[in-house]
Amino acid sequence: MPESTESGPQITEDEAFQRKDWAAQRIGWIVFAIVLLSAALGVFGGGPLSRASTGADGAQVQYERFVRREKPFELVVRLDAAKSETVAVEIASRVLRAVSVEGITPAPESERSGENGGRFEFAATPGAPAMLKFRLQSSNPGLHAGTIRVDGVPLSFSTFVYP
């Protein structure tokens, strides 16, 4: 009987190429997992890492760190106790150039704009807490930082607007 020989295509393995391919796949999966986790936590807006607040002297401002271009977002101003029958909120002109005010709740009793920004006055009950909501929208992507003054107390914040 004749000896049998294998016939057919001979496949050679390139182990160096395989190791590089596997490493690239692992890196891709890690990057994908990081992006997915970041999105779930709010880095792209609407999650726990996106919400932030700053406060001083009984005044606090809550805002979103990350928002999307042309999507409304809220800036919430809280006072532990109003000092008088009116609460004055001043928004720096730098902020007002970056965003448009779409709505305010409750409606201010008076509004003024000038070189330094806008001033909004609200009715309040002395000694009672107050909450004001500014609905804002930005059409300018990038990092926007600014200051809001609540009854003279300056509160700084920054928001990154995704394109």
What is the average pLDDT across 143-155?
89
Give, as one character, the DSSP assignment of residue 132. Answer: E
Q: Which positions ≥6 away from 163 have C-beta within 8 Å?
A: 69, 141
User: Residue 1: pLDDT above 80?
Assistant: no
* Res. 6 pLDDT band, cuts 50 70 90: low
What is the average pLDDT across 2-30?
81
Q: Per-residue pLDDT tens for 63-82? A: 988 888 888 989 999 988 77
User: Residue 25: pLDDT above 90?
Assistant: yes
